[in-house]
Structure 1
Amino acid sequence: MGYIVGEDRDQASLLPSRIADYVASDASVRVIDAFADGLDLAALGFGRAVAASTGRPGYDPRDLLKLYVWGYFNEIRSSRRLERACRRDVEAMWLLRRLAPDFKTIADFRRDNGPAIVGACRVFVLVCRDAGLFAARLIALDGSKFRAAASPKKVIGREEIAEEGVRLERRIAAYLCGLDEADACETDDEPDAVPAALAALYNRRAELDRMAHKLDAEERTTLVEGEEDARPMRAGSGHKPPCYNVQTAVDADTGLIVHHDVTDEPTDRRQLHPMASATRESLDLEALTVVADKGFDNGEHASACERDGIVACVPSQRSINNQGDGTLFDRTAFIYEPETDTFTCPAGRTLARKQLHRKKRNVTYASQDCSGCALKPHCTTAERRFVKRHLDDDALNRMDARATPAMMKARRCAVEHPFGTIKRMTAGGRFLTRNLKGTRTEMALSVLAYNILRTINIQTAIA
């Protein structure tokens, strides 16, 4: 038995003359082409949306947008790889009508049209909304860390800045000492490289001073040199590379991403209300139900959601009494009396309001006298017991009560799949561009590609 043998490479054959014959009628590239053709590029803010009447003709931004969306759809993000795809991939040839822009033109388009690309991603969400694809019965929120383009070696803190500053001062002093010795010998053989080296050292010292002032102004402990919007972040202990926190709001019924954002926040604690309110505006709804994990727990945001008609379902993270040996009464053993704004302890004594902490948004209550109490050994090791209550305690309790096991299961089923798909499309979740402007552009392309893929799958399942 032999092997399966292909055709002779020198055999003449009559191939279809139209390149469209090589692209299936139901290919996803046709959806990308139709969507981009329906956009109002001028209204979205794309550069060169209207062709100039004079000068050398340029590429239509619509074609470059199609190329990028198709590239992210097929896990091709590099401008150089997109350039190669235009010359050898049949779908890319069909999409751009055999145009082959160079990599610089492709890269400049993404760099110069960031907000417009983000707007195009939002337009697709509106198209899906108007088509009735969003059930919007439940929106699941989640955040995930995506690696920045900067190397982990570029993370610098106050200690590293101080150490490098000392080394720079020594090198500068050595150069100046050498110049003084040359002057003393009355020679004119000063190397041309010395002034340039000194200028470079002074510039570096000025840059270190600027970074130190930035750390103080923003109350940060570290800075990523060359990409200052990125922050070292990752869950757990150990090495934390420079990352961005990507937020998504996913329709639990369809798996489509309704809203997304890229932030430099290390945690999700301040993302609940901004993400929920932006999602409600995108869906044009009066009321909305959102679910998120305990990382989104925030009393101030819980109250803000209730004021805006947003029903938030988030489990709370409450501190426990860690004093003594761990067996002392927890805060839950004390009953709050809203009429008198006091707490009643298990022994029946009253804890009155003592101090308001506006920054931490809580109130401290203290017992007037714990002497002679039989339960004191089980309550506190101090002279008297203190209890803290959050200003938004009622909103937190209601939000926590709504976070049932069934609701949290629905959240997991909704938000994990989009992030998994997008990270597969982006080499495990790593950006190619730098800072928030570039990464937001990249994430908009990734979300747009994901939503198109998800929409095609939904329509295929319905058919």
Structure 2
Amino acid sequence: MGYIIGEDREQASLLPSRIEDYVAPDAAVRVIDAFADGLDLMALGFVRAVAASTGRPGYDPRDLLKLYVWGYFNEVRSSRRLERACRRDVEAMWLMRRLAPDFKTIADFRRDNGPAIVGTCRAFVLVCREAGLFAARLVALDGSKFRAAASPKKVIGSREIAEEQARLDNRIATYLSGLDAADANEPDDEPDAYGVALAVLRARRAELDRMAGKLETQERNTLVEGEEDARPMRSGGGQKPPCYNVQTAVDTDTGLIVHHEVTDEPTDRRQLHPMASATKESLDLDTLTVVADKGFDNGEHASACERDGIITCVPSQRSINNQGDGTLFDRTAFAYDAATDTLACPAGRTLVRKQLHRKKRNVTYVSQDCSGCALKPSCTTAERRTVKRHLDDEALNRMDARATPQMMKARRCAVEHPFGTIKRMTAGGRFLTRNLKGTRTEMALSILAYNIMRAANIKTAIA
């Protein structure tokens, strides 16, 4: 038995005369092409959306947008790799009509059109909604850490800055001594090597002073040198590399991402209301139901969502009474009376308001007298019982009650898949661009590519 043998490379063959024949009728690249052709680039704010009347003609931003979306769809994000794809990939040649811009032109387009690309991602969501692909009856929120371009070795804190400042001060003093010695010898015809090195050291010293001032002003413990918008974040166990926190709002019926945001917040605690309200606004809905995990638990945001007509389903992670042997009455055993702003204990005695903690958004209530109470051994080991009640306690309780096991299962099934797919498309979830401006642009391209893939799959399933 022999092997399957290919054709002779020298053999002449009659290939199709049109590049159109090489692209399948149902290829996703055709969806990308049709979507980009229907956009109003001027309304979205693309640079050079109208061709200049003089000078050398440039590339149509519509073509460069198509190339980038196709690249992220096929896990090709580098501008140099996109340049090579324009010359060797049949789909790219079809999409670009055999145009082959250089990598600098491709990279400049992504850098100069960040807000417009983010708007394009949102425009596709509206196209899907108008096409009836989803109704956004239930939206699931989630956050995930994506690695920044900066290395973990670039994370610097106050101690490291102070140590390097001390080393630089010693080196600057050494160079100044060298300059004094050189002046004494009067080497006028020699190059000023000491002066050049001293200027470099002083520039670095000024940069360290600036970073130290920023740490103090923003009350931060660390800073990522070279990418100061990134923050060390832990995505599981192990070290805390520089990351960004990517937030998504996913339609539970279709798996389409209806809204997203890239933040520098290490946790999700302050993302519930901003994400929910932005999703509701972008979809132009009167009411919206959102479900999220306990990382989004926030009483202030729960109340704000209720005021804005947003129904939240988030499990609450409230503190419990761990005093004594752990069997003492929890705060849930105390009934609140809004008319008198007091709490009633299980024995019927009254706890009055003692102190308001504005930063923590809670109120401390204390019993006026616990002496002679038969339930005191089950209530407190102190002289009098104190209870802390959150200012948004009722909103938190309602939000927690709505977080049923069925709701949490729907959340889990909706939000995990998109993040897994996007991280696969982005080399395990790592950005190529730096700072919030660049990463927001890159994430918009990733989510646009994912939504196109998902929408195409939905249409195929319906057909």
> Considering the TM-score relative to the shorter chain, is it more than 0.5?
yes
Q: Could you say what secondary structure the match of 2:360 adopts?
A: coil
Q: Could you say what secondary structure the match of 1:67 adopts?
A: helix
The answer as to whether partners of 2:179 and 2:195 remain within 8 angstroms in 1 is: no
Q: Is the counterpart of residue 170 in structure 1 residue 170 in structure 2?
A: yes
Aligned residue runs from structure 1 range 413-424, under 5 A: 413-424=413-424
Aligned-pair CA distance for 1:131? 1.0
The answer as to whether partners of 2:121 and 2:445 remain within 8 angstroms in 1 is: yes
Q: In the TM superposition, what whole-angstrom CA distance separates every residue of 1:137-190 from its partner, at most 9, and x where no partner exists?
A: 111111111000000011111111111111111111111122223334455476
Q: Is the counterpart of residue 318 in structure 1 residue 310 in structure 2?
A: no
Partners of 2:190 and 2:321 lie apart in 1 by 70
Partners of 1:427 and 1:59 lie apart in 2 by 29
Aligned residue runs from structure 1 range 363-402, under 5 A: 363-402=363-402
Partners of 1:437 and 1:156 lie apart in 2 by 22
User: How many equivalent pairs are there?
Assistant: 463
Partners of 1:236 and 1:270 lie apart in 2 by 20
Aligned residue runs from structure 1 range 88-167, under 5 A: 88-167=88-167
The two structures have a TM-score, normalised by structure 1, of 0.97
Aligned-pair CA distance for 1:16? 0.6
Partners of 1:317 and 1:281 lie apart in 2 by 28
Partners of 1:184 and 1:96 lie apart in 2 by 67
The answer as to whether partners of 1:73 and 1:450 remain within 8 angstroms in 2 is: yes
Quote the residue 1:447 is aligned against: 447
Which amino acid in 2 is paired with 1:65?
L
Aligned-pair CA distance for 1:107? 0.4
Quote the residue 1:212 is aligned against: 212
Partners of 1:393 and 1:15 lie apart in 2 by 72
Which amino acid in 2 is paired with 1:295?
G
Report the identity percentage: 87
Partners of 2:272 and 2:456 lie apart in 1 by 30
The answer as to whether partners of 1:148 and 1:430 remain within 8 angstroms in 2 is: yes
The answer as to whether partners of 1:182 and 1:190 remain within 8 angstroms in 2 is: no
Partners of 2:182 and 2:131 lie apart in 1 by 80
Quote the residue 2:462 is aligned against: 462
Which amino acid in 2 is paired with 1:18?
R
Quote the residue 2:231 is aligned against: 231
Q: Could you say what secondary structure the match of 2:275 adopts?
A: helix
Q: In the TM superposition, what whole-angstrom CA distance separates every residue of 1:101-138 from its partner, at most 9, and x where no partner exists?
A: 11111000000000111111111111111111112111
Q: Could you say what secondary structure the match of 2:91 adopts?
A: helix
Q: Is the counterpart of residue 33 in structure 1 residue 33 in structure 2?
A: yes
Partners of 1:320 and 1:263 lie apart in 2 by 31
Partners of 1:382 and 1:148 lie apart in 2 by 50
189 and 368 in structure 1: CA distance in 2 versus 1, 3 angstrom threshold: farther
Partners of 2:173 and 2:326 lie apart in 1 by 58
Partners of 1:319 and 1:220 lie apart in 2 by 27
Q: In the TM superposition, what whole-angstrom CA distance separates every residue of 1:305-356 from its partner, at most 9, and x where no partner exists?
A: 1111111100111011233443333212222222322112233322101111
Quote the residue 2:341 is aligned against: 341
Partners of 2:178 and 2:242 lie apart in 1 by 40
Q: In the TM superposition, what whole-angstrom CA distance separates every residue of 1:286-308 from its partner, at most 9, and x where no partner exists?
A: 01111000111111111111111
Partners of 2:145 and 2:289 lie apart in 1 by 25
Q: Which runs of 5+ in 2 are unaligned?
A: none
Quote the residue 2:20 is aligned against: 20
Q: Which runs of 5+ in 1 are unaligned?
A: none
Quote the residue 2:5 is aligned against: 5
Quote the residue 2:76 is aligned against: 76
238 and 372 in structure 1: CA distance in 2 versus 1, 3 angstrom threshold: farther
Partners of 1:268 and 1:135 lie apart in 2 by 26
The answer as to whether partners of 1:135 and 1:254 remain within 8 angstroms in 2 is: no
The answer as to whether partners of 1:343 and 1:365 remain within 8 angstroms in 2 is: yes
Q: Name which of structure 1's ranges 373-382 and 73-82 shifts more when overlaid on structure 2.
A: 373-382
Aligned-pair CA distance for 1:237? 5.1
Quote the residue 2:55 is aligned against: 55
Q: Could you say what secondary structure the match of 1:295 adopts?
A: helix
Partners of 1:350 and 1:317 lie apart in 2 by 26
User: Runs of 4+ in structure 1 displaced over 6 angstroms?
Assistant: none
Quote the residue 1:201 is aligned against: 201
Partners of 1:449 and 1:82 lie apart in 2 by 15
The answer as to whether partners of 1:280 and 1:287 remain within 8 angstroms in 2 is: yes
Quote the residue 1:258 is aligned against: 258
Which amino acid in 2 is paired with 1:365?
Y
Q: Is the counterpart of residue 425 in structure 1 residue 425 in structure 2?
A: yes
The answer as to whether partners of 1:343 and 1:350 remain within 8 angstroms in 2 is: yes
The two structures have a TM-score, normalised by structure 2, of 0.97
The answer as to whether partners of 1:292 and 1:408 remain within 8 angstroms in 2 is: yes
Q: Could you say what secondary structure the match of 1:369 adopts?
A: coil
The answer as to whether partners of 2:178 and 2:194 remain within 8 angstroms in 1 is: no
Q: Is the counterpart of residue 292 in structure 1 residue 284 in structure 2?
A: no
Q: Name which of structure 1's ranges 47-56 and 401-410 shifts more when overlaid on structure 2.
A: 47-56
Q: Could you say what secondary structure the match of 1:160 adopts?
A: helix
Partners of 1:332 and 1:78 lie apart in 2 by 55
Aligned-pair CA distance for 1:374? 4.0
Q: Could you say what secondary structure the match of 2:146 adopts?
A: strand
348 and 237 in structure 1: CA distance in 2 versus 1, 3 angstrom threshold: farther
Aligned-pair CA distance for 1:30? 0.6
Q: Could you say what secondary structure the match of 2:69 adopts?
A: helix
Partners of 1:211 and 1:385 lie apart in 2 by 47
Partners of 2:328 and 2:185 lie apart in 1 by 80
54 and 2 in structure 1: CA distance in 2 versus 1, 3 angstrom threshold: same
Partners of 1:322 and 1:178 lie apart in 2 by 65
